Amino acid sequence: MPLRCAVLDDFQQVATTLADWSPIAEDVEVVSFGVHFDNEDALAAALAEFDIVVTLRERVPFPASLFERLPRLRLLIASGMRNSVIDYAAAEAHGVTVCGTASSSTPPVELTWALLLGLARGIVRESDSLRSGGPWQSTVGVDLCGRRLGLLGLGKIGSRVAQVGHAFGMRVSAWSQNLSEERAAEVGVERAGSKEDLLAGSDFVSIHLALSDRTRGLIGAREFGLLKPTAYLVNTSRSAIVDQDALLDALRAGRIAGAGVDVFDIEPLPADHPMRTAPRLLATPHLGYVSQDNYRTYYGQAVENIRAYLAGSPVRQLP
C-alpha cells in the first residue's frame, strides 16, 4: 500500500502541476485540499488517514493536541524554513519528522510595491470606475519622488524594498530595535532615531519585521496618532504587529490616508470580517508568497523531502 500525502490549502489547485511528483508516484498517493480547515476537529478528521502532510506557510497550527490525534502521521513538510505554529517538541515525541523548503523574498517585495503604488495612485478605485461607467478621473495621485518611505525592519525584504524606493526617488529611512548605523549605511538609508521619529516623518510606512514578543502590537492607537493624516501604512509581514482594532479605528476616522494590507488576524478572512468593508483599505488575501516560482520551489522541494525521507536520510529538517 502506498503512503498517503495530503497537501493543505491548495486554493488554486496547482500543487500537483507546478512540480513534478512523478519520482514518488509509485510510493506515495498525493491528495490536495482546496479548502481551508478552520478548526482542529475538521483538520484531524481530514488528515486521519495520511502519513505525510504538506502545509503552506504558517496558516495551519500543528500543536501537541493535533499530533496526538494523528497517530499515522510520520512526515510534516512546511513551506519555508521557519514556522512558528508547529510544536516541534510534540512532533518529535510522536515520531514525526518536520522538514522545510526554501522560500524567496522576491514575491513579498513585489507585492509590497503593488500595494503601495495601488494606494498612491488610486488604482482599484479608478479601474472600478472605468469598468462600471463611472466618472473619468476621480482621484489625484500621490507622487512618490521626494516623499519619505519609512521602513520598520531592514532585513532581507526591507532592504530590497528600500532599493526600489530609491529607484523611485524617495527618501528612505528605517528603524528597528536592533538596527545599527552600519547596517543602515550599508543599505544606503537613514537610520531613524526612534520608532516615533520614523512614524512622524514618513509619508509611507512599510512593515518588514518578524513577529515576536517584542514586535507584537508594535503599532497601536498611539502610533497611529503619530502618523501624518496624509500617510499610508503597508503591512505584508504579520497582522499581529499592528493592533487590528486600532487600524480599523484609524481608517474609519480618517486619521491616516489609507493602508495596504496582505495579512490578517484570521485567515482565510471570514465573510463578515470588518476588514472586508473598511474604508481607505487596499487588501489582498495573503498573496505575499504566492507566485509561480515560489510555488515551484515549495512543492518541488516537498517532493525532494519526501524522497529523502523514504530513503532514510531526511533533508531540510526543522527547526
Active site residues: 238, 267, 286
- 170 to each of 165, 190, 257, how far by Cα in Å? 5, 12, 18
Of 317, 264, 257, give the one whose Cα is nearest residue 120: 257
- 189 to each of 91, 122, 167, 198, how far by Cα in Å? 42, 27, 13, 12
Query: What is the Cα–Cα distance from 108 to 116, expressed in whole angstroms?
Result: 12
- 139 to each of 119, 133, 242, how far by Cα in Å? 11, 15, 28
Beta strands in 138-257 (DSSP E): 148-152, 171-175, 190-191, 204-207, 232-235
Q: Cα angle vertex 259, ends 216, 190, to 5°? A: 70
Q: How many residues does the chain have?
A: 319
User: What grid cell was written down for 236?
Assistant: 505584508
Q: How far is CA 8 from the centre of its chain?
A: 16
User: What grid cell was written down for 4?
Assistant: 498517503
Helix (H) or strand (E) holding 3: strand 3-7
